[in-house]
Homo-oligomer: A and B are copies of this chain.
Amino acid sequence: MENQLLSDRNVDFLLYEVLGAERLCELAAFREHGRETFDLFLASARRMARQVLMPSYRRMDAQAPELRDGRVRVHPLMKEIYPQLLSLGLINATRPAAVGGQQMPLTVASLAAAYLMAGNGSAYGFLGLTSAAAHLMEAFGSDWLKTEFMTRLYAGEWTGTMALTEPHAGSSLADVTTRATPTEGGYYLIQGAKIFISGADHDLTENVVQMTLARIDGAPPGIKGISLFAIPNRRHEAGHLVPNDVHVAGAVHKLGSRGIPSLILSFGEEGDCRGWLVGERERGIAHMFQMMNEARIMVGMGGVATASVAYHEALAYARTRPQGRAAAARDPQKPQVAIVEHADVRRMLLRQKAIVEGGLSLLATTALQADLAAHAEDAPSRRRAALLLDLLTPVAKSFPAEWGFESNVLAMQVHGGYGYTSEYLPEAWLRDQKLNSIHEGTTGIQGLDLLGRKAVAEGGAALGILQEEIALAAKRAKAAGIDQAWCDGLGEAMTTLMELTQHLGAKGLAGDVEGMLLHSADYLALVSIVTVAWQWLLQAAVAREALNSGRAPTDFYQGKLGAAQYWLLTELPRAKLFAELCRSGEDSYARMKSDWF
């Protein structure tokens, strides 16, 4: 049976039974839309993902793009895929008609993208990066930049990248040293090097535009001195594209995500690399971060998608692979049973389901907040959504990377010895998933962002909103007849989280920033478990309501209750341990010295 990538039934459940996505169409921004347009959009993505992307996945994984004579050649299949992908109109799906878009809610567009990423994440990558680059230009670019770059990017005529990382600086953007020297011609001369730039060169389109962080001559050191530039690989001169002194200095060989090249770029080796300032001078980081929520949501969605496709593969395998017999009845004369009959295999599958569907729910909820933050009718609603969006984003980015990776490991484990071989697919998705804890801000960076900024911003306002949402979900769950203990468990964890955050915030205000942030990894784990528990309590409430109403078939809803129970009784109790570590400030690694290791 064909791998479904994501469960359509579950996506529909999330959109229409849990999130009530049709209500978005009451907002002016989405007035043109309705469930029909949502479903059409999703249907075309599903079809493309299953019929075009997934069948190409393994071959693109096995044969990574080649770097020859300084130019990158993608896999031949990618050349067939790219125009088909463009036809979905994904690059600017969420953008307004003024720039050729459909103003599709991100809630819907990100779920559509999830199918594509589950089918072939690298193939989707070319579009995702282009979308982000164009969006930066739309938000901050001059008219000329929009005409020259944005329009072509949104059309997929050229593609875009995010060129932040430098070899010596890694996560430390304050240490970016790429230089931009102003000229009379309205452009800057760029000199520097970038590394790990996905899709920075290829032969799919005639040009690539690198959205690059650089420092204008004389700018202050650190984050404050960084500006954002558009640097095309080729530039227009007299109506023709000519080389812009952007060179591919090398390719890195990645463990996974192998369909899209990761490149080392060198700007200005010949002193003639031209870049155009995007937005304000020395506001590069701010501009970039304004787009960061969306980029991180898409990375998180990719992580969920990668866990999802593996989960579905493992589930199909477990249902059809005969092996062994029940522990209580080991008659070797009886035929073997499908391994899904073994409790420990069901444990591995249920954990995957809880991670995948809990993660998808978290991601869709985060995307919904992004839609509301941008388009809710009144300012208080937009502010509320924006606060919640900011809080949820580091979790939405890192939960799939960490728990999703564990889910991918389990999908492999369900396959036994076969899972360890490239004759089966789970090992490839495991390799792909690993990237997500590293790029677009490592998990460590997400933890610092969450605790150091998001949780304590505006006096902890965002956590207050989360607490309200959890209380609402608990009320609904109780009314539907969900076990009181499930609701109480989550309520207590949320209270613990609030108190802990006040405690840590006070520590930071008192000047002990290191102490406040010491257990940021544990804090991130705590918030991740609690927010996913919120999603599961909500899903359980909806499922119970459906069962109460006698709606059939019941299997789907029973499965939801099973996974909710699993998360709330098995994973949520860990929240207390993480909170205790944060509160006590357990100091083993604080005290360790380099020479003690």
B349, A597: Cβ atoms under 8 Å?
A: yes
Per a CB cutoff under 8 Å, which of B421, B422, B442, B590 touches A343?
Answer: B590
* A221-251 to B contact mask, C-beta < 8 Å, 1/0: 1110000000000000000000000000000
- Are A319 and B588 CB-contacts (below 8 A) given A221-B333, A255-B420, A422-B253? no
In chain B, what residue has the closest Cβ to A517?
B327
CB distance from A440 to the nearest CB of B (A): 11
Copies of the polypeptide in the assembly: 2
Residues of B within 8 A of A252 (CB): 417, 420-421, 423
Is A87 part of the contact surface with B, judged by Cβ < 8 Å?
A: no
In chain B, what residue has the closest Cβ to A422?
B253
**Considering the complex, which residues of chain A in the window 553-597 have a beta carbon less than 8 Å from any beta carbon of chain B?**
555-556, 558-559, 562-563, 565-566, 569-570, 573-574, 577, 580-581, 586, 588-597
Is A143 part of the contact surface with B, judged by Cβ < 8 Å?
A: no
- Are A580 and B573 CB-contacts (below 8 A) given A427-B255, A518-B343? yes
B444, A417: Cβ atoms under 8 Å?
A: no
CB distance from A151 to the nearest CB of B (A): 32
A562, B580: Cβ atoms under 8 Å?
A: no
Residues of B within 8 A of A253 (CB): 421-423
Give the total of A residues in contact with B, Cβ under 8 Å.
Answer: 103
Residues of B within 8 A of A421 (CB): 252-255, 262
Residues of B within 8 A of A496 (CB): none
A417, B353: Cβ atoms under 8 Å?
A: no
* A295-328 to B contact mask, C-beta < 8 Å, 1/0: 0000000000000000000010011001111111
**Considering the complex, which residues of chain A in the window 320-350 have a beta carbon less than 8 Å from any beta carbon of chain B?**
322-328, 330-333, 336, 338, 340-347, 349-350
B581, A570: Cβ atoms under 8 Å?
A: yes
- Are A589 and B343 CB-contacts (below 8 A) given A252-B423, A517-B327? yes
A513, B328: Cβ atoms under 8 Å?
A: yes
Is A413 part of the contact surface with B, judged by Cβ < 8 Å?
A: yes
A588 to B423, CA, bound (A): 32
In chain B, what residue has the closest Cβ to A577?
B573
- Are A327 and B513 CB-contacts (below 8 A) given A346-B589, A565-B588, A589-B566? yes
> Which 4 A-B pairs have CB atoms at the shortest separation, nearest pair first?
A222-B332, A559-B596, A172-B324, A566-B588
12 pairs from A and B in contact (CB 8 Å cutoff): A171-B323, A175-B323, A175-B324, A253-B421, A255-B422, A255-B430, A327-B452, A350-B588, A413-B442, A565-B586, A565-B588, A570-B581
